[in-house]
Amino acid sequence: MPMLFQCGPRTLDLSTVKVMGVLNVTPDSFSDGGQLFSDNTLNNSMALKRAEQMVREGAAIIDVGGESTRPGSAPVPIDEELSRVIPVVELIARELDVVISVDTSSPEVMLEAAKVGAGIINDVRALTRDGALTAAASTGLPVCLMHMQGLPQTMQDRPEYDDVVSEVANYLLQRVSQCEQAGIARSNIWLDPGFGFGKTDIHNLQLLQQLPQLVELGLPVLAGLSRKSLLGRLLGRDVNERLAGSLALAMLAAQGGAKILRVHDVAATVDVLKIQMAAASA
């Protein structure tokens, strides 16, 4: 499995598990939508301060997203996504020493973000939008391919699988093949099983339990389990009361072989990983 990645101007070492901090520059994301807006306008300085905080807390990657993909969310016009994402990526790249991931499915955003300092393309649609494969390949950046059954508007309408783990694995391998044909090196690809994206609670738990099977595909695995609706149903907790559950899932994902944890609560997750590492090396 590749461990060193050239992420634009910065290098990322995945020999140990890394934390990716979520920076949603959206008014409607399920957990933190609107927190960086004042008078319905995105406040770039607030976005930078939030990124600074996550870097201080130990985030190795800041994941900037300008389009909510929560269940039932509607697509965002490309001009609006560009206006949200590009200034924030440019500002963080100029001010902070951190790898920047851009959470987008839009080829236009991929290209522009790469120009201003983004180092990773993180696509919940696995580069299936028209032009996305070509755009991602042209940037030369690492890409993260996620599995999603359906679209955000409909993905939680009775998702069904015969074998969720094998179907997710097969889909991701097909997308890896498409990426390679488009000129993206296999050594520059990460995989994300897409927890909560077209999966029931049982599907999510089966994927988590059998995460080592996805790790065995030989590419770094990203796990995004922070504050998921799964926790609300399992624990009866509101979205802002899911820290303990999120940390439990983060620990399980790291134990299962995930190399990148995409989280809202950076400091607490970093603490969990430190404890895990200390126990493993004792």
Catalytic residue IDs:
228, 262
Phi, psi of 126, rounded to the nearest 5 degrees? 55, 40
Phi, psi of 92, rounded to the nearest 5 degrees? -65, -45
